[in-house]
Amino acid sequence: MASLAVLFAPSMTSITSDEIRHTALLARLRIEEKDIDARTQQIGAILDYVAMLQEVDTNGIDTALQVTGAAHVLRDDALREEELASPDALLACSPLPVIDHQIQTPSAHG
Amino acid sequence: MNPYALTIAQAKQLLTKKEASAEELVRSCMERIEAVDDSVNAVVHRNFDGALAQAKKVDSHPEEFGELAGIPYLAKDVFCEKGVPTTACSPILQNPTYTPPYSSTVTRLLEASGAISLGKVNTDEFTMGASTETSAYGPTHNPWDVSRVAGGSSGGSAAAVAADECLFALGTDTGGSIRQPAGFCNVAGIRPTYGRVSRFGVMSMASSLDTIGPLCKTVEDTAIVLEAIAGKDPQDATTIDRPVPRYTEALQKGIKGLRIGVPREYFAEGLHADVESSVREAIRTLEKEGALIEEISLPLTKYAIATYYVICPCEVSSNMARYDGIRFGLHSEASDSLHSQYVQTRSRGFGTEVQRRILIGTYALSAGYYDAYYRKALQVRALIVREFTEAFEKVDAIVGPVSPTPAFKVGAHEGDPVAMYLEDAFLTAQPMAGIPCMSIPCGMSTDGLPIGLQIMAPQWHEETVLQTAYAFERVTDWHTKKPML
């Protein structure tokens, strides 16, 4: 399945400005039109560089998600004794209005 | 000697004998900062009132504190400290300036030990960089040649220690960000095993690669600080429950019979001639001290940067998602939608390099590309881990250069991100494997620029790294040299 994905994926070394625009949308970033070409070229150069990883034979190799053996670390579902910061102190960090211990944001419905 | 020029070990002796006070040490560092920081630009937030208040507490009740009582330090601008501005040197945490309502675990450990926080030092924005040039506060200048960079991303930390603005500094190392600036500035800097030191309360960049470590004037000082900050933290699930050795007591062991590997791939074309000769001379010194040197091969070295520059941006794209101007950060003009609020805040608040890494990470994780980029990089990471494991079956430690060249000029890599990434040539494989490694001074270029020696050991073998470094430092004097400021 992994090898099929590589076979059918678009060329790894030719990112287009449309793909940059789409990626920016996903990342909640706006790139000015005047900067799109430069950004596309720079990111393309980075992707060209990292494409060398395709040379490495990784057949049958598991992904390394962690390297110190710490996986599925659990703790007791118990209240911490010491409060690190009060809710009000945390809310005070917001640049938006805080009403009734809640941060008021623009509408999610646009 | 001016108090600001003391090492931690020297200052501790004077404090114990009551020949110096914490307040004197703090005032001396404060004066030093005022005298030199205009040309170095290391310090970004001053905590002088807080530092004097803490110093008075330590002086009046020293018995309530620990090994670092009275020792002034500076922290990279990503260590949350209650009441002290902490902004990751990014516009997105300014206007209003983010002032944390809590402290990182390491900050709390140092406070309990009696160390005194003087404030925050410069970093590349969100620690993304190898030169401290992407900081919202402008670049930190190398105290050895102010037309050159101090390295990055812990450039402020390294420069501050080199310039004697503090007795030690805190840094972070994700892909070389402690070791490289330490090498450029002639100070000691250690990247401990991943999971050795808690990352709680430290602004994350790449969560499987970030580590915390001290930058100090000597190897002994490094051992003192590491002892104080290492250990399991319930608030950081990636810290491992292993006892913290008395690193200071292990220093003197010596390296007789220690098998040290020298990877041939670290001495390939492109290595600056002065770096090669200094590092080879350092290896001869280690041999004279009793180490058994042998050449080894780490063929995956050339893929380490590429592996890092896939995994790191992917993790960055996730960690940077929280910076949306809602719970903290940049105030944006009233938006009519949440979506445009996010876009406005993030586009104005993040610098070019941060945005670039977010874009690469988002792309590499997106549907259709995930397997070819991210999954592939994680497989290569597994191979790098295996390569180190196999190497450490034959040798106890590995040494080599820190950087391909000494410190480069400010602006040298402008507009060329790949050229900047190549500065990390010898520094990105170790984070893949989570192994401890350190940079110590080992020479000077013909231009009078510092050159660092990198020492690596298997996971949890910080003693081996420190013993090797100490054995070298004991019979050389590179670490005693100071820049003229």
Nearest CA in chain A to B85: A93
Q: Is the Cβ of A98 closer than 8 Å to some Cβ of chain B?
A: no
What interface predicted TM-score (ipTM) does this complex get?
0.91
Tell me whether residues A53 and B234 touch, CB distance under 8 A: no
CB under 8 A, 24+ apart: contacts of B331-339: B331/A95, B331/A96, B331/B95, B331/B96, B332/A95, B334/A106, B335/A106, B336/A106, B336/A107, B336/A110, B337/A106, B337/A107, B337/A108, B337/A109, B337/A110, B338/A105, B338/A106, B338/A107, B338/A108, B338/A110, B339/A28, B339/A108, B339/A110
Nearest CA in chain B to A55: B303
Instruction: Report the length, in residues, of chain A.
Output: 110
Instruction: Tell me the C-alpha distance between B176 and B430, whole Å.
Output: 9
Tell me if B418 sits within 8 A of A45, measured CB to CB. Answer: yes
Q: How far is A17 from chain B (nearest CA, A)?
A: 12
Contact residues, chain A, for B369 at CB < 8 Å: 9, 12
Under 8 Å CB pairs connecting chains A and B tally to 199
Per-residue pLDDT of B295-348, as tens digits, reads: 999 999 999 999 999 999 999 999 999 999 999 989 888 788 999 999 999 999
Tell me whether residues A29 and B432 touch, CB distance under 8 A: no
Instruction: Tell me the C-alpha distance between B201 and B220, whole Å.
Output: 27
Q: How far is A92 from chain B (nearest CA, A)?
A: 8
Per-residue pLDDT of A76-87, as tens digits, reads: 899 888 889 999
Contact residues, chain B, for A86 at CB < 8 Å: 101
Task: Mutation target for B interface from A32, A56, A91: give the one with most B CBs within 10 A.
Answer: A56
**Residue B63 identity (one-letter amino acid):** E
Contact residues, chain B, for A47 at CB < 8 Å: 360, 363
Tell me whether residues B377 and A108 touch, CB distance under 8 A: no
Tell me if B121 sits within 8 A of B77, measured CB to CB. Answer: yes
Using 50, 70 and 90 to split pLDDT, how confident is the model at A13? Answer: low
DSSP letter assigned to residue B81: B
Task: Mutation target for B interface from A40, A57, A67, A86: give the one with most B CBs within 10 A.
Answer: A67
Task: Mutation target for A interface from B336, B376, B383, B422: give the one with most A CBs within 10 A.
Answer: B376
Residue among A19, A64, A110 minimizing CB distance to B339:
A110
Q: Is pTM beyond 0.80 here?
A: yes
Q: How far is A7 from chain B (nearest CA, A)?
A: 10
Tell me whether residues B379 and A68 touch, CB distance under 8 A: no
User: In sequence order, what are the residues at sequence separation of 6 or more whose Cβ sits closer than 8 angstroms to the Cβ of residue B332?
Assistant: A95, B325, B341, B344, B345, B348
Tell me if B211 sits within 8 A of B192, measured CB to CB. Answer: yes
Residue among B302, B350, B382 minimizing CB distance to A63:
B382
- Strands, E, within B275-355: which ranges? 292-296
Least confident of A12-21, A56-65, B29-38, B258-267: A12-21
Tell me whether residues B372 and A5 touch, CB distance under 8 A: yes
Please report the pLDDT score of residue B336 as a whole number: 85
Q: For residue B88, which phi and psi values (nearest 5 degrees)?
A: 55, 20
Q: How far is B354 from chain A (nearest CA, A)?
A: 11
Tell me whether residues B356 and A46 touch, CB distance under 8 A: yes
**Residues A35-58, mean pLDDT to the nearest whole number:** 95
For residue B69, how far is the Cα from the chain centroid? 23
Per-residue pLDDT of B230-248, as tens digits, reads: 999 999 999 999 999 999 9
Instruction: Tell me the C-alpha distance between B357 and B124, whole Å.
Output: 13
Query: Exposed/middle/buried for B424, CB within 10 Å: 0-12, 13-18, 19+?
Result: buried
The pair of three-digit structure tokens given for residue B282, joined into one six-digit string: 């350092």
Using 50, 70 and 90 to split pLDDT, how confident is the model at A110? Answer: low
For residue B439, how far is the Cα from the chain centroid? 10
Contact residues, chain A, for B363 at CB < 8 Å: 15, 19, 23, 43, 47
Per-residue pLDDT of B179-205, as tens digits, reads: 999 999 999 999 999 999 999 999 999
Using 50, 70 and 90 to split pLDDT, how confident is the model at A9? Answer: very low
Per-residue pLDDT of B370-415, as tens digits, reads: 999 999 999 999 999 999 999 999 999 999 999 999 999 999 999 8
Q: How far is A91 from chain B (nearest CA, A)?
A: 7
Q: What is the residue-averaged pLDDT of chain B?
A: 97
**Residues B253-272, mean pLDDT to the nearest whole number:** 95
Task: Tell which A residues from 26 to 85 touch B, by Cβ distance under 8 Å.
Answer: 26-31, 39, 42-43, 45-47, 49-56, 58, 61-70, 73, 75, 84-85
Task: Mutation target for A interface from B308, B380, B416, B430: give the one with most A CBs within 10 A.
Answer: B380
C-alpha pair distances (Å), B14 with each of B9, B22, B53, B263: 9, 10, 20, 43
Please report the pLDDT score of residue B114 as a whole number: 98
Burial B101-111 (b: 16+ CB within 10 A, else e): bbbbbbbbbbb
Question: Mind telling me the catalytic residues of B?
Answer: 76, 153, 177
Tell me if B461 sits within 8 A of B119, measured CB to CB. Answer: no
Contact residues, chain A, for B237 at CB < 8 Å: 70, 73, 75
